Amino acid sequence: MTTDFREYTVEAPTYDEVAARYAELNAQLDAAEAAEDATAFVDGVAAWDAYRRELSDWSATVSIRFHQDTANEEYKKAREYCDELSPKLTDLAVAMKRRLLSCGYRAALAERFGELVFELWSCDVAAFDPVIEQDLVAESKLNSEYTELVASARFEFQGETLTLSQLGKYAENPDREIRHGAARVASEWFADRQTDFDRLYQELVTLRHTMAGKLGYENFIPLGYKHMQRIDYGQADVETFRAQVRDEVVPLCLELRRRQAENLGLEKLYAWDEAIHDLAGNPKPDGEHDWLVDRATEMFEALGGGMDDFFAEMKQQHLMDLKSREGKASGGFCHNLPVLRMPFIFANFNGTKGDVEVFTHEMGHAFQCYSSREQPLTDYLWPTTEACEIHSMGLEFLTWPHMELFFGDDAARFRRLHLTESILFLPYGVLVDHFQHQVYEKPEATPEERNQMWLDLEAVYVPWRDYGDLAHPASGRRWQRQLHIYGMPFYYIDYTLALTCALQLWVRAETDREATMRDYVALCHRGGEAPFQELVAAAGLKSPFAPGCLSEVVARAKQELDLA
C-alpha cells in the first residue's frame, strides 16, 4: 500500500475544528483522571499525538506545494493560512504540554514514552510562556523585516540583474577583478542600509533581553538555549568547544589559506578570494537529474544499511523534487510526513557539485525520518538540531568512496574540496556563536561596540581575513549578512557540533567502514529519543565538548590534505 505523493492532499483544518478536537482530548484526559485510570490517561496522550501527526502532515504538505510552485495562487494562499494558524496551534499544544507536565500520571507517561519528553516539554513551556506572547509576535515581525530587506537586494552586475544569492556565484569566478567587483557591490548595498540593519538588530536584542527578564533570566542566553531544547549541555560546554576550535582548527585553517593563496598564484588572499580554491573551477557531476538519480541508486545499493530499499520507496512514491524550474523556490530541505510515514526532499539541481552535496545531505535527514518513524511520540521523530545535522553531514562523508560514480576522475578533487571547506567552516561557525554570546551578555552595547566585538573575534577565529577596500565588512559589520544572527539566535553552533561528529564518522569509516555504517544506521533509528550527547556516545563518537574531540580529526585531515 503506497501513496503517490503527487496525489497526496491533506484537508486544511479551521481553528475551531482544532480547538474542538483539543477540547475532546482534554475531556478524555479529564475522564481518565476522574476514574483514576492511568492507562486511559496514557491512551489519551497517544490520541493527542496521533492528532499532532495529522497536523504535521498538513503543514508539511502545504509548505512543500508552495516551494514546488511559488507562483500558484492556491498554494500561496494555503501557505499564508498555515502561517497564520500555526502560532495558535502552538499555543494549544503548549497548553497541553503544560497540563501533562503537572498531571498526576507522570510515572505512567514516562513508562510508555520515556523521561526525556518531560524535559523537552519543559523547554517548550518556558520558551512559549503566555507572558511573552506579544513579544514573540513582535520578534517574528522583526525577523520578517530582515528577511524582506535582504530579499529586496538587486544588483546590476556583469550585465545581469541579480539577487544577493545569485550574486554569490561570482565569488567563485576565476577572474579576480570580477570577484572583487561582486564583493564591492554587495558591500555598498549593505553600507547604504547599515542604519536599518543596526536598528533591526538593536530592537531584536532589546526585545529578547526583555523577554528573558520577564521570565526571570539574567539575560537572553539561557532562554535561547531553551528555545533550542538544549538539555544535556550548557554555556560552559559550548565555550570549551569554541576554545578547541580556536586552538586546534584555526592553525590548520591558516595553513589552508596560505596554500590556497599559493594555488591561486596570489601574494595575498583578500576576502573576495576566499571562496575559490582552484583556478580550474570546482568539480562538476558528469550528468543531470535522471543520470544523477540512477547513480544515486547504485550508490545506495553499494552503501547498504537499508538505504537502497528506502531510496526505492522514495522514488516510487515521488517523494523527491530535485530539478530546478521556473517558479520553484530556491534551496534544499527535508520535511517529515509522519502520517504518510515517509519524508520528502527538495533541491534545485543546477549542474554544480552542490547537486551531489545537497542531495546527499537531505537524504541523510530523510533516512533518519524514515528510520525513526516508529518512535512513540512526535517529539522524538526528529532529535534536536545539532544531532539532526549529524545524519545529513555524516552521510556526506560516509558516501565518499562512491563519489567516482558522480565525478569520475575528479572525485579525489571533490573529496579534498569537501574536506577543506568543512574544516574552514568550523572557525566561522564558532565565531558567529561567540559573537551572539557577547551581544546578549551586554544588551546595552551600542552598534559601534557590537561591531568592535565582531572585529575582535574575527582576529581570533579568522585571523587571515582582510576586507581590503570593502568598507561595510571592514567596519565590523560582516555579521549583518548572517541570517541566523538575526532570526535564529544560538542556532549556528549546531552546524559545527554536528560537523565535528560527522568528521569523526569519516575518520572511523576509513578503518572500519561496516561498523561505522552500522552505528550510523542505529543513530538514525533512535531519532530524538535521547539528548545530543547520549546519541553521540551511543554512536561511538566523542562529544564535541570533551577535551581532544578534534585532535584525531585534525591530524587525519592534515594527512589527507598533505599538510602533515
Binding flag, residue 372, Zn ion (CB under 5 A): no
Distance CA 229, CA 106 (A): 20
- Nearest-approach distance from CB 387 to Zn ion, in angstroms: 11
The answer to whether 533 and 545 are in contact (CB under 8 A) is yes
Q: For residues 422 and 480, which CB has a smaller minimum distance to Zn ion in the complex?
A: 422
Query: For Zn ion, which is the closer residue by CB, 392 or 399?
Result: 392
CB of 369 to Zn ion, least distance (A): 12
Query: Which segment (70-78, 224-232, 301-309, 391-399) binds Zn ion by CB under 5 A?
Result: 391-399
Please give the full DSSP string across 60-108, using - where no structure is assigned: HHHHHHHHH-TT-HHHHHHHHHHHHHHHHHHHHHHHHHHHHHTSTTHHH
CB of 418 to Zn ion, least distance (A): 15
Q: Does 368 bind Zn ion (CB under 5 A)?
A: no
Q: Which stretch binds Zn ion (CB under 5 A): 12-20, 385-393, 503-511, 539-547?
A: 385-393
> Alpha-carbon dihedral of residues 261, 429, 280, 287, nearest 10 degrees?
170
* Stretch of residues binding Zn ion (CB under 5 A), selected from 32-40, 122-130, 390-398, 409-417: 390-398
Angle between the N-to-C axes of helices 15-34 and 73-101, in degrees from 0 to 180, rounded to the nearest 10: 20
Q: How far is CA 477 from the centre of its chain?
A: 23
From the list 68-76, 247-255, 392-400, 444-452, the region that binds Zn ion by CB under 5 A is 392-400
Please state the closest distance from residue 361 (CB atom) to Zn ion, in A.
6
Closer to Zn ion by CB, 189 or 333: give it. 333
Are β-strands 342-349 and 320-323 bridged in parallel, bridged antiparallel, or unpaired? parallel
Query: Mind giving me the DSSP string for 494-529?
Result: HHHHHHHHHHHHHHHHHH-HHHHHHHHHHHHHHTTS
**Nearest to 381, CA basis, from 346, 333, 345, 343:** 343
The x, y and z cell numbers of residue 266, run together, are 596570489
Identity of the residue, 183 or 387, whose beta carbon is nearer to Zn ion in the bound complex: 387
Closest to 406 measured CA to CA, from 520, 274, 549, 302: 302
Grid cell in block for residue 271: 576576502
What ranges in 235-319 are assigned the alpha helix state H?
235-244, 250-264, 289-303, 307-316
Q: How far is the CB of 236 from Zn ion (least distance, A)?
A: 27
Stretch that binds Zn ion, among 118-126, 264-272, 377-385, 387-395 (CB under 5 A): 387-395
Q: Which of 244, 260, 372, 392 binds Zn ion (CB under 5 A)?
A: 392
CA neighbor of 359 nearest in space, from 279, 410, 417, 295: 295
How many residues make contact with Zn ion (CB under 5 A)?
1
Site for Zn ion, residues 441 to 470, rule: CB under 5 A: none
139 vs 355, which CB is nearer to Zn ion?
Answer: 355
Alpha-carbon distances of 444 from 23, 209, 219, 339, rounded to whole Å: 44, 10, 11, 47
Mark 415-440 as b/e (b = at least 16 C-beta within 10 Å). Answer: bbbbbbebbbebbbbbbbbbbbbebb
Give the nearer residue to Zn ion in terms of CB position, either 124 or 386.
Answer: 386
385 belongs to the binding site for Zn ion (CB under 5 A): no
In the DSSP assignment, the letter for residue 542 is: -
Collapsing DSSP states into helix, strand and coil, what is residue 318? coil
Q: Is 378 in the site for Zn ion (CB under 5 A)?
A: no
Strands 160-162 and 342-349: unpaired
Binding mask 20-49 for Zn ion (x = CB under 5 A): ------------------------------
Instruction: Return the C-alpha torsion angle 514, 517, 521, 524, nearest 10.
Output: 160
Based on C-alpha coordinates, what's the Rg of the chain? Answer: 24
Q: How far is the CB of 392 from Zn ion (least distance, A)?
A: 4
Smallest gap from Cβ 54 to Zn ion, in A, equals 25
Cβ closest to Zn ion, residue 392 vs residue 475: 392
Cβ closest to Zn ion, residue 358 vs residue 557: 358
Minimum CB distance to Zn ion smaller for 392 or for 422: 392
Nearer to Zn ion, 392 or 436 (CB): 392
CB 492 within 8 A of CB 245: no
Cβ-closest position to Zn ion: 392
Stretch that binds Zn ion, among 61-69, 122-130, 290-298, 384-392 (CB under 5 A): 384-392
By beta-carbon proximity to Zn ion, the closer residue of 208 and 335 is 335
* Other beta carbons within 10 Å of 107: 9
Q: How far is the CB of 264 from Zn ion (least distance, A)?
A: 30
Of 285 and 332, which CB lies nearer to Zn ion in the complex structure? 332
- Residue number, 348 or 392, with CB nearest to Zn ion: 392
Supply the minimum distance, in Å, between the C-beta of residue 365 and Zn ion.
6
From the CB of 510, what's the least distance to Zn ion, in Å? 23
Least CB distance from residue 333 to Zn ion, whole Å?
8
- Min dist CB 52 to Zn ion, Å, is 23
SS3 424: helix
In the complex, the smallest distance separating the C-beta of residue 360 from Zn ion, rounded to whole angstroms, is 11
Residues binding Zn ion (CB under 5 A): 392
